[in-house]
Structure 1
């Protein structure tokens, strides 16, 4: 009886050891992506001005699926000369899809992917690196408006001391980790960031990352930030309106005078419906007023009724009370500074000229 128990125990130990050995010899499934195309993409998005962007895309490619087969980095290197066109086309399609999501309703130009030659000789664990050079122009539809000259409007508002808000819907396809890194111009500064954006210490850059390497379906995110110019050409915090009055007493029974109203900057919120992506524009210089007319956000009749008519009435009251006379002022626009202005504004220098 004792011998039988020992034999059974020994058999149990042998079976256990064999099973354990077999288990540890099997490949262990790591917590890695099951996607057939696996890429870490970095979109370096540089503002050239308020609406024109230059984008440098870096594509760290760990797997790329072509012709129904998924190639890892080593296989990409081994077959690159034969399949480089197919690899590039797959990456191009994915980047195009991402840019169309992030910059919806915008005008874009995408360059063809090109490989970092040094990455073709990397070790088996390192990705094969590709790059793409792209440009994007933000449109009126992107901002949710119908303003006809959106570039003039956005850049003009920034140079007038206004603030522009940008909202992007970020996107990452299955198997992709996408980093969206925005870099402003030297003139700009980022003053507010929402939705988990990481702002640099310089206040010039902000980053969002959408991680979807382990995902089973496309993933989206949302980010908003606001920018302004550090030193705009004009930034008024009050109205700047001057009256030049010239009296002519050369006639004994009648006096003549001319009154010139010079509007350098005025309050516009009472007669202009500024779009919601714009803020801090209570007072704008004369160049910006002419720009608003061109953008169909106001007209000269509204400007007369809200700016000049109240001043005209006030001048009449002052003259009547001061000289005990009855006056009737005739008003005329100086067309060379209003309707027929040859250069209504200079978009690179929005001022009160």
Structure 2
């Protein structure tokens, strides 16, 4: 049976700030209906179910015991990922996890082992590289539009979470920080474009030990900062390419681009990898202006899908039907190991080796860049 068209019911654990993005994305994929939600806060689970017309809500235990739920989407805080993923796999569910795959690489490794033991699929965010922006950039690199990619830059400024999140504590304590919060989008995008990372070097710091929360509906007034909130690094890829990275919760504004890839024949400007469908620009040797590339559109990704989540869940279900698994646990694990090394880098440690590796995820579709190369 075609797994991309048959109905595969989904249960979502966690109805926090990212839930609406998943509900929106999955609602645009008819074969992936959300049939149940769960949360530690029962009232919040009930409200989410009512808002999105989800037929059932309740506890995690009730969700895992529900025979209708075939895929569990785990969008709880990072420190809760590993235990809930393990429970869902052992309950006979396939699991897709919001980034990072787990709070630590060791926890993620154990989840991968559990998935193999139970024969269930495990996938993980971010899935934004499957969107039009990520796939357009990938197709341009594969077509040689900028020649041989030899370097890249990757920059993240503050998400300003203290101005909009009612309780951003988790972002500034163990399992949080800019490396684990924003870093997954950037590292996933870079691995999609340049392949696996082999080593990292750099340093981390923090600008303050406490922050004032100004969100209008805040539940806390101040947050203690117990993780470093600014990281600067050089990433070396197995291909030999280098990337300069700066991931920060302390830099309030910058004019630096999110991502650029530098090749022997030009530069590719890649938009915010936390979004799906912003334009990709290229400027080749001899060009006077940047050119917007025609977007690669997966017909199963809704148009105007900047804020959605869900293509990674569809990717997992496609794999059940025999397609390649792009947002796989192995891919997410490699991204997490790189991020974990970035969190702990220090000049006195020199270059830190990345022990895992992974193939670049296969592209979804091709792109005609002929008019730009002739």
Which bracket does the TM-score occupy, shorter chain normalised?
A: under 0.3
Specify which structure has the higher proportion of strand.
Answer: 1
TM-score (norm 2): 0.26
TM-score (norm 1): 0.27
Higher relative contact order (CA 8 A, sep 6+): 2
Larger radius of gyration: 1
